[in-house]
Structure 1
């Protein structure tokens, strides 16, 4: 079978399918050299929000819980093969108003009934953390099981271990899909015609263009996200007062402490914006840098190390993600929007179940 798209979702599908005994060919131009720096997977911050998700039922809830479980298993399996994944446990969602805090308290009560541990942190407890959090935080919701997974090592691990298992790769872009007599042909822009019994389409926004000639109209739009890597100013550290318990979320913006390194000062990832189209807005970036006016002094004084952006595929008029078996042997697994990393394992498992189901 052929998997089109080598982002986190595509690589997860290819790795799992190959491990379950299928012969997989992974197709993506990024496999022929440096990855596309604007692609959503390489631009992701890797914040995993499963237990703190506001819903407690439905497809999105089930996918998140299954993925959180599977990421734990995958981290162990990949680590045993020499591909350790960088996982930071713990996620703190800050409340910016009494209404936000009340909503968090209701969610914590709901999770208690589900035997899922969440904690409400008071304003006083937040004030003791170092470095300082935004002054407007009136409390927070802490999840010890959620956290942050570094997308870079995850992408490398899935591909590297996938190749060990036998995945074949092709560094070309798909231009057209064709089905004849139960066999699929993937035509590439370089003129190849690759054949397989099944095709998994995980090509982000490009998925829509490949499906339209087959009379499947599932429009997707790119939503740009800008992110920053910042170096903390001298004298600012993750501690020695109680340090942050993991990644922190303030009004939808993610602040991710980076692992310590002897070669650099202490650093932070900050992101991401939500912008239509493909061009970054300087005003949106400035608002991100200032946390919408709530940035503490140390964050304003932090030095810019790196700025990057990526495009997340957002379904138009449909809930994310798009998981459908469109025809026999044609499975769509795309449109994950901001949750490609989080939902990649559960998506891969779902794809495998569709392809392995009795016809």
Structure 2
């Protein structure tokens, strides 16, 4: 495309802003339109960078996740240098304790660090685990980032780069002759020469894309006042059976998350909170005495195969970047770079092929 063209990104979550920053750094004129939603997936994320701990099977999805994890240290350094704000990136590793040998799922992937710890070793490595834990895998290359810190940093970076971020909701996409003509929004009509759809769980409101919300409830605890943040009881993420426990360097403990396919139903529930606390305390019993800080929820953009929809659409001037489900934070760097390269340099990475929308399309349908 002509490098003088302007680009309008629909959606100001972590994915939309990551793409905007990469395009701006390439020289594009970029505008982001964002409706100020609290329950976006970014807010529902614990920030785990965990392709190994989540046991993603070998294939294109794992390849994409591993590539993004590799990009993360340099990417957050770039974001922090532009914004002047920390992202909370911590290469702490992730421990996956199990209660039975049937839970001992792992993919023996070459060139990746992982280690099985037996019952004696895992309790020596991490004190305070439940006596039910009989072992676990340790993935030293998995990591975490503090999602709220990252989001604040990436917004500040976008503003520092003079990316125009406007508040408003897109009501309708007007198409004609295979192209997007204009957007009808709450603040009037908007036009650009190229568009990116990065609206996460709300994508189907604008186009017939198979993206649906999966609600996630979460909560946070605080370590006891007599415990120093210099000597945290947890030094890595615990990714257990139906729970994860994510320690932050400031003493917060993030616990998540439910997976509820109930549509856009707001709020925390007694059952959801009970599930979170019950599973977390079973894994790490000492949490029962920790102070509760807050509860929240968000909506992850899920797809039928739980993989994102990335790349070209049936419209010449519309690129798709949605459906990241539980991996939006992890996939932000690689999505931003691959989509920016596709739009600006017309370079389509072979990785994108597996994530094209056409895998869901019936003959004659159009998105």
Partner of 2:75: 74
C-alpha separation between the residues in 2 aligned to 1:127 and 1:238? 21
Query: Are 2:229 and 2:249, in contact at CA under 8 Å, matched by a contact in 1?
Result: no
Would the aligned equivalents of 2:10 and 2:195 in 1 still touch at CA under 8 Å? yes
SS in 2 for 1:196: coil
Question: What is the deviation of 1:183?
Answer: 5.8
3-state SS, counterpart of residue 51 of structure 2 = coil
Q: How many residues align?
A: 334
**Pair 99,68 (structure 1): closer, same or farther in 2 beyond 3 Å:** same
Among 221, 225, 232, the residue aligned to 1:230: 221
Matches within 5 A, 1:148-297: 148-180=144-176, 184-190=181-187, 192-211=188-207, 217-233=208-224, 243-260=233-250, 266-277=251-262, 278-279=265-266, 280-291=268-279, 294-297=282-285
Which residue of structure 2 lines up, in the alignment, with residue 20 of structure 1? 26
Instruction: Say which SS state the counterpart of residue 55 (structure 2) adopts.
Output: coil
TM-score (ref. length: structure 2): 0.84
In the aligned structure 2, how far is the partner of 1:9 from the partner of 1:141?
A: 30
C-alpha RMSD of the superposition: 2.4
Report if aligned partners of 1:87, 1:149 keep a CA contact under 8 Å in 2: yes
SS in 1 for 2:142: strand
Distance 1:232 1:161 in 2: 31
Distance 1:270 1:52, change over 3 A: closer
Assess, with a 3 A threshold, how the Cα gap between structure 1 residues 38 and 55 changes in structure 2: closer, same or farther: closer
TM norm structure 1: 0.85
Q: Aligned equivalents of 2:103 and 2:230: distance in 1?
A: 27
Aligned counterpart, 1:263? none
Q: Deviations over 1:168-189 (max 9, x none)?
A: 1111111111245756312212
Check 1:157–1:163 CA distance in 2 against 1; reply closer, same or farther (3 A cut): same
Q: Do the aligned residues in 1 keep the contact of 2:202 with 2:213 (CA within 8 Å)?
A: no
Is 1:135–1:296's contact at 8 Å kept on the other side of the alignment?
no
**Aligned counterpart, 1:97:** 100
Q: Do the aligned partners of residues 127 and 234 (structure 1) sit closer, same or farther apart at CA in structure 2, a change above 3 Å counting?
A: farther
Instruction: Structure 1: give runs of 5+ residues left out of the alignment.
Output: 31-35, 212-216, 261-265
- Residue segments in structure 2 that go unaligned for 5+ positions in a row: 1-6, 349-367
Structure 2 Cα separation of the partners of residues 224 and 354 of structure 1: 31
Structure-2 change in CA distance of 1:270 and 1:220 (3 Å): same
Do the aligned partners of residues 296 and 83 (structure 1) sit closer, same or farther apart at CA in structure 2, a change above 3 Å counting?
closer
